[in-house]
Chains A and B, each alone.
Chain A
Amino acid sequence: MASPNPAAGASLDGPGGPNLGAPIHKPLTELEVTLEANRCLNCYDAPCMRACPTHIDVASFIGKIATGNLKGSARVILDANPMGASCARVCPTEELCEGACVYKKDDTPIRIGDLQRYSIDWVMDHDVDLFAPGPVTGKKVAIIGGGPAGLSAARDLRRIGHAVTIFESRDGLNGLNTYGIVPFRLSTDVALWEAQQVVKLGVDVRTGVRVGVDVSMDSLMNDFDAVVLACGMGNVPKLGIPGEDLLNVWDALDFIERAKLGKSVGQLGNHVAVIGAGNTAIDALTCAKRLGVERVTMYYRRGEEQMTAYQFEYEFAKMEGIEFRFFCAPRRIIGEVHVSAVEFVKTAIPAGDAGAAPVVVPGSEFVEPVSAVIRAIGQSRLHDTFSAVGIETDGGVVCVDDALQTSRKGVFAAGDCIFEKGMREAMVVEAAEQGKLVARSIDAYLREGART
């Protein structure tokens, strides 16, 4: 496992690497917590709870904060959402619970995310055990992938009593929470603490193990009663233009990971171009800026309205001094050894069809001098990996039934690997929910098997 960054000091919310600056969100003060917790109306069948993909009983956990029952509060949160610590920091609450708050009408929703963080921070500070493994069932489940979906599934399978082994190709658990989200949004320490809460329920963790390379799918099928695919998505795909092999052309996730772990990203120069307009693009942009790059510019082939980054992420990027160029697509990356410029062409959305693919405006090419390029155009799908083990996919998305079972009996899937393609971004909180659901489905599957 990656060692927690020593620069983080006592706080689990310290920056993950040097020079990346203070966390974006400060924890609430005690006074703010008191005021905010008491302001909650305690709605019945509350809209916030309905809006949360994991259906955290928000009114309940906030009410418990108000009565000083922080252990109970944290248990309500984590019972519904094993990824409650990271979700308190990275959830797009404006789009979910806080967006549904009845006070939203007056633009003063309860700060649910911050209150959730307060409760979970209490658990981090007090080292209490909130959950225990269930009585041994004798059944064994292999989970491929130790990110949010896999951990969530592991937590609930252990609570039921099934034995769980997680196979994780990286050195550390919690996937993109650990490696792919900038430290000033979610520190490595919090992500690893969160994973540890699952591991301590008695999960066998095999890190640095690649299924299909180090261990075969068939052997997993033989050794375990059920298998969960929770392997997420792949790298950021290539742009498919000339010059991508030049030095200083980055995959955004590799870039963020190195920066987050405090590893060198070399000399980025004075102008970094980020291609793409999602939340990972925002993370790459702000990360580069905080590493000291003078100019950091986002280039996007659509307009501001079509950006997939959340509005608050976009606002944050603007505050950090990021520049934005809409309606332009890269044609080629120019340079000898290192990147020195990118040639773009202007694009346009066909009139009257905002959803249509942008078209190139002929003769509108222009060259931007840049010193590095970071591509952040989404993640590739692991087509070949799945087809090699006989799992049906649809365009790389693993096909599952209502019980999250794949085309192969006993093999289930959760998280980003079943995330449908679309304009929306995948969320940690959805992965967490799918992990819960897949645990429930597997339990039913294993019990059924026991009867027949």
Chain B
Amino acid sequence: MALALSGQVVVGRAPQGERAYLLWTGWVALLLFVLAYAYVLRKYAHKLGYSPEFGWQVAKGAMESAQQQLGVLRERIATKALTDKGQILAAARQILRDTGCARVLRVQLAQDAGGLPLLQVARTEPLARAARWLHAHVYYGLGACLLAFLHGGAGFQTPMGVILNGLTALVLVSGVIGLLFWLAGPGWLTKAERDLSIEEAFVLDRHYQRRIVAEQAQLHSVDPQLAHEFVASGAPTADFVQRLGAACGGGQEGERRARDLLALLGQRRKVAAELQRLERVRWLMNAWRPIHIPASIALLAAIVVHVMSIWLY
């Protein structure tokens, strides 16, 4: 980068003398891209249960035994039988090793209100949280795009230049927009959620839908046409209400039941409208993903082709 800024090399051009520059920027950009893609691997390895950490599980009995022995250690700390921080940590780690829990639990020392060492137990979280991977993904991605620009010089003269630089720009822009949308989006959606959260609206909508389908099936056995109109109708007409009352058994009871059914329809429509409104906000928050993800996959494929072609030719 320093060479490019100092004008010693021309960004994007590759005469014989600048091969080293192009190779370095190219390989480092590739490495950063791969690191950025690792986030996706980490995410799906967990979701599908293939992460190596899944094999580290220890039996509940071992965890409990470790906690019990750590409890005895805490008692020794409380009675000041053990005060040296190094010794406390060593003893605690030994307990974790002896019980076979060292891979899943870790210990750390804090200080309690009385100034005594406070032995805390936490999970090891060996591959780090997904949030850290997402942050790293953003930084690696930004770094890779910058290097790709230095490497290719935003040249659109060749088909490969168009594909690689175009896709890089697309991934970068959609990613940055996505970053902004994910920062602001939760706030928008939370504001938009009035009485119902989007999850609650979804559950309620499905509940009403099931009830309406059941009611429609009952009506269908009495009057198929009415059953069709029941779900299709907008604002109910007087005639429709009358027919519905008759289909529900007639009389006062039939009329009451018809009113209940219409209320159910009204509630469903209201919840469905609310859900639709919230879904729109959620869609907007994630609108960048249908561009970012396919563009990233295409970019990876193009990079592989580019590297292979350079290698071979």
A and B held together in a complex? no
B residues lining the A interface (CB < 8 Å): none
A residues lining the B interface (CB < 8 Å): none
